């Protein structure tokens, strides 16, 4: 047996080599099938190259094959934890292209559905983000309330995740009897639940150690990368499409847009927590003001877009600006239907945020971007 090599210079004995590490696509902390090719120097990340496309299903090609009405279910399957906002962005683009106007009752119900969707999406984000960082308990708390939101969805449209709950021109059905009471009961008690989650995390020393100052994104970086949504608002840009270009019933309700200036993982957490509270305010006001009337506009039997017309319509989804760019060609099918996915742009900044950070911070940073790979890859 050879004697251990104990003679040599310090450098030859403690030689440090950079290592390549494939993080994903089956790693639980990548929230789906994201693969990050990392170059690590010990625990320090010196290079990060995201590889996406594992969930590419060609949705934009499928849009071109189906009439405008049949395309709504495809939108459910992009950001599959926030189907209602996807539906709204798509049907909004079709309405803009074909000149349809939505009745006020439908606009209010759409607003309610979108805000409930924002709550459920943020709850899922909080649960998984906290688990990634090592806090198990919030998962059980948030899924308790998320279940109630999903029950409300199920009662309205029969589905819990892939809602398919909007149509160009309005809604497929009116609210069931008693739904507004149950929804109101939920939003009245929900702010106390947010306090409960915050009680677990906001002043928790471990949570703050893992999130404060981690993944700091400046305002300039955010604008350079087209980052939108809560990530942008945590970097000091108070931009929210619900306030900037009010759509549906957002112009008629009172709510605040939370803005934080630190740009780190902790501030992004605070923005989302406050957004959930504001969402309950919006739902409460919409329920109080809910007008009567039809939920579907008068529309042609076959919806066609005029040749060579195009429209881009974007809304504030839970993850950022989700928009649809649709080109018509005189047939009931779109010529081109492009999705502007917020996760795609928010994910692009991850290599810049993880540079020279530790591997454990990477998990926190990927978690805080709140990506859904179904939307990144489409």
Partner 1 sequence: MGDEERKGPEEADGAAAQAAAEAAAKARAEAAAKAKAAKEAAEAAKPAWEREPKIPEWEEAGGDPIAAALAERHGASLLSARTLAGDLVLAVERDAIREVARSLHDEHGFTMLIDICGADYPDREGPRFEVVYHLMNLDSCRRVRLRVSTDEDSPVPSLVPLWRGANWPEREAFDMYGIGFADHPDMTRILMWEGFEGHPLRKDFPVEGIETGAAIYPEYYEEAAGPVTGTGTGWKPPRDEEGAAGAAEDA
Residue 338's SS3 state is: strand
* Residue placing its CB nearer to partner 1 in the complex, 210 or 242: 242
Of 224-283, which residues contact partner 1 (CB under 8 A)?
224-227, 237, 239, 244-245
Alpha carbon distance 183, 111 (integer Å): 13
Contact 43, 358 (CB under 8 A): yes
The tokens describing 324, both together, are 């649809």
Out of 179, 290, 310, 332, which residue is the one contacting partner 1 (CB under 8 A)? 310
CB of 111 to partner 1, least distance (A): 16
The interface region with partner 1, picked from 140-148, 184-192, 269-277, 310-318 by CB under 8 A, is 310-318
If one asks whether residue 34 binds partner 1 (CB under 8 A), the answer comes out as: no
The tokens describing 133, both together, are 């960082």
Of 341-360, which residues contact partner 1 (CB under 8 A)?
344-345, 348-349, 352
* Residue placing its CB nearer to partner 1 in the complex, 70 or 224: 224
If one asks whether residue 198 binds partner 1 (CB under 8 A), the answer comes out as: no
**CA-based nearest residue to 229, from 314, 316, 315:** 316
Residue 11's SS3 state is: helix
If one asks whether residue 173 binds partner 1 (CB under 8 A), the answer comes out as: no
* Residue placing its CB nearer to partner 1 in the complex, 180 or 335: 335
* Residue placing its CB nearer to partner 1 in the complex, 200 or 327: 327
**CA-based nearest residue to 76, from 12, 193, 157, 185:** 157
CB of 239 to partner 1, least distance (A): 5
The interface region with partner 1, picked from 108-116, 118-126, 209-217, 298-306 by CB under 8 A, is 298-306
DSSP 252-298: GS-------SS-SHHHHHHHHHHHHHHHHHHHHHHHHH---S-SB--
If one asks whether residue 22 binds partner 1 (CB under 8 A), the answer comes out as: no
Bond from prior residue into 25 cis (ω within 30 degrees of 0):
yes
The pattern of x and - marking residues 100 through 119 that bind partner 1 according to CB under 8 A reads: xxxx----------------
DSSP letter, residue 299:
-
* Residue placing its CB nearer to partner 1 in the complex, 138 or 323: 323
The tokens describing 195, both together, are 């306090």
* Residue placing its CB nearer to partner 1 in the complex, 124 or 366: 366
Alpha carbon distance 173, 63 (integer Å): 24
**CA-based nearest residue to 45, from 352, 372, 272:** 352
Out of 131, 159, 327, 358, which residue is the one contacting partner 1 (CB under 8 A)? 327
DSSP 160-226: SSS----BTTB-SSPPPTTHHHHHHHHHHHHHHHHHHHHHHHTT-HHHHHHHTTSS---HHHHHHTT
The interface region with partner 1, picked from 72-80, 130-138, 179-187, 321-329 by CB under 8 A, is 321-329
Phi-psi region of 258 (alpha: psi -120 to 50; beta: other; left: phi over 0): beta
Instruction: Give the total of residues touching partner 1 (CB under 8 A).
Output: 54
Out of 27, 39, 44, 96, which residue is the one contacting partner 1 (CB under 8 A)? 96
User: Which residues form the interface with partner 1 (CB under 8 A)?
Assistant: 52-53, 56, 58, 60-62, 65, 96-103, 169-170, 223-227, 237, 239, 244-245, 294, 297-300, 306, 308-312, 314, 321, 323, 325, 327, 335-336, 338, 340, 344-345, 348-349, 352, 377-378
């Amino acid at each position: 047996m050879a004697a251990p090599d104990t003679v040599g210079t310090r450098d030859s004995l403690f030689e440090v080599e950079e290592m390549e590490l494939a993080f994903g696509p089956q790693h639980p902390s990548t929230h789906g099938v994201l693969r990050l090719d990392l170059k690590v120097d010990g625990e320090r990340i010196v290079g990060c190259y995201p590889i996406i496309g594992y969930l590419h299903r060609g949705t934009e090609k499928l849009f071109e094959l189906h009439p405008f009405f049949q395309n709504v279910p495809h939108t459910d399957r992009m950001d599959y934890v926030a189907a209602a906002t996807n539906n709204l962005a798509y049907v909004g683009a079709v309405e803009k292209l074909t000149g349809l106007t939505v009745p006020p009752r439908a606009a209010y119900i759409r607003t309610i559905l979108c805000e409930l969707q924002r709550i459920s999406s943020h709850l899922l984000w909080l649960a998984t983000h906290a688990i990634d960082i090592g806090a198990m308990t919030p998962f059980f708390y948030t899924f308790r309330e998320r279940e109630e939101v999903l029950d409300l969805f199920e009662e309205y449209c029969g589905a819990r995740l892939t809602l398919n709950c909007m149509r160009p021109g309005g809604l497929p059905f009116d609210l069931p009897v008693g739904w507004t009471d149950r929804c109101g009961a939920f939003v009245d008690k929900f702010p106390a639940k947010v306090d409960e989650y915050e009680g677990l995390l906001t002043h928790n020393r471990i949570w703050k150690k893992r999130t404060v100052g981690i993944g700091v994104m400046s305002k300039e970086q955010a604008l350079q990368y087209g980052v939108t949504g809560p990530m942008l608002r945590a970097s000091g840009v108070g931009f929210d499409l619900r306030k900037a270009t009010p759509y549906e019933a957002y112009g008629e309700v009172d709510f605040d847009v939370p803005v934080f200036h630190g740009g780190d993982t902790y501030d992004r957490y605070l923005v989302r927590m406050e957004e959930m509270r504001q969402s309950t305010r919006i739902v409460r006001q919409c329920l109080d003001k809910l007008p009567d009337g039809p939920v579907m506009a008068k529309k042609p039997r076959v919806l066609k877009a005029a040749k060579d017309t195009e429209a881009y319509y974007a809304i504030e989804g839970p993850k950022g600006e989700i928009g649809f760019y649709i080109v018509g060609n005189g047939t009931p099918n779109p010529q081109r239907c492009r999705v502007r996915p917020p996760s795609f742009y928010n994910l692009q900044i991850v290599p810049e945020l993880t540079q020279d950070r530790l591997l454990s911070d990477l998990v926190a940073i990927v978690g805080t971007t709140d990506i859904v790979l179904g939307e990144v890859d489409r």
